[in-house]
Structure 1
């Protein structure tokens, strides 16, 4: 029994934020029905390479992008733009607890599938809309893409190397961070709405916007600006408020050092054989280390260049100093701690690849653990079974709908 076993989710979303949200709900036990366009499916089915590899070798036509956000779902291919397809979706809504969608503001209303219509059909429905800018405001009808949101929301202004250094300038994150975080926030909103429904008996609309989430993500930097009026600048791998807290180069490779307080700095100074640093008034406290940042970092950089990253990591871990290598993905997934936490699932049989591997869900619950019941589905592989199970549609009617192009 998962935490959400018994709940039914209709996933009308595509690409990343909505599918990530629905995947987490599925990992927690919900029965997730992913509705896709016949013949085309979710856009990300085609966002390759890379693609899933066939056991005998060579690419399949299943993009890894799609696989990253669509496990624990059943795929139903319905053309919602047809009257018959929209009717099928409305009938499915009657049977579901949650609907997740990321259509542009106003698009579902044109199909007769907006929140007002669906909540009248099912007053207990929790309807989660995910858009770039939300359903209100001057940009509500614009399409929203993660890259653009990272720029508008201030994230890129504090990400990247300093302007006065080589390669300086704004940078986006290496993954679509606004999309992913919106998916996680949407899960929290949906679960809160489900808890509220236990008290009121009514569902509600969750209006989730990528830009809202991106603004929330500026966190302490945003709060600092509100308090002082000082606009944070890009610091590269340095930290605006803490020193030393950045990347250093050892004899062989780079590593990350995060020295968060004065006692840790004293332990660091002793561990690297330079206890005089912690006794120096210029470096004894964090405000003074910030003031004398450049000269202190030059001293530390020279010292760290004398030994390997493994040497410094082993030494500093013993002194309880936060430290670690800068891993590529192969190294990260091979890390002993990552393996111990089970963050790579080695096998879940897929119709194309019986040894399908994937990154695990990071949620750990003591009594209702996440489960991996289904691999990412092939397009429309569950259309007949779901419509039969949910709506009692018989084989003859399914054949008619298929022949008319309403379903696949």
Structure 2
């Protein structure tokens, strides 16, 4: 395995790091201050001015759509090449949007780029790539265990030249954002199909279609994640043109697997950046505080945690780079085990490292003054998003056992 970055990637790393130093870190208080002011004014979902201003700067700097491979509208990077850049963006929870590299838009753009018709791409992909609109992915449902996507009950029924959509979704990221103009919706179009993985379809639903109602914003450990957030959404007799179907009826599960592979690895890349910054915060804080006659950093337990954090982060990074390389060389399907492994390893690693950082900050760690509490909330959520740990562990275990089962 050769993880040496090309000169192109090293140049992008340098430019991205410089952009973070010049524009992202100095504006973190501005970003959260704007959200607080908007919330106090009665509209937490109003987009922040600072992000919109920085988007223009990122685009001018050529740091735009870095996630999108094989595209004349992106950087054309492989997964392995994108990994170190995504890690850098992950160091600030809000910065990926500045570079048009944030979820769920990245996954939705990849879906449209891979599976969309030219007309669908012109209507939705182009404005998403330009950062003019945002999007939502509507799959998870409150009434069923959505960790098994075949449980989904929402319906997509063909009536003439239209499809009629009914269902209730939640944890629909971006549904509350006023910039969200389009949903990619997963539901059952053929519930009686003997093949459980061909019962589902994905379809494009414009946000302003009659019958689409955002019922509420869902907080995560008390954080509303404004201005993007997550919503519970009701779809009641929503009618869209038949031309809005993606790829074809019964292809929804196939699209979901294609979408979630890159999405999962992007989450893991960003988590490594978040864990790195949390380790930095832990080191700086423990060096600045004195307890029982010596700095907290000199206490044995703190040194042990710092050492273990370093080990855990580097282990996770190598696992992610290995998965990225396999996705590039043998494809997402062949790399399924490696993707599942990092989806378990990275969030658990980040939760542990951030927890140690919280402990090093003392009471301040559970406040919003230092950012580690919010970082923990985000990392803990990713042990559920894109499939819970238990599902990925089951998949890994079955793949491992398969080596020892008699061939048939």
**TM-score class normalised by the smaller sequence:** under 0.3
Q: How does the TM-score come out when normalised to structure 1?
A: 0.20
- Point out the structure with max Rg over C-alpha: 1
- Bigger RCO of structures 1 and 2 (CA < 8 A, at least 6 apart): 1
**Structure in which a larger fraction of residues adopt helix:** 2
Q: How does the TM-score come out when normalised to structure 2?
A: 0.20
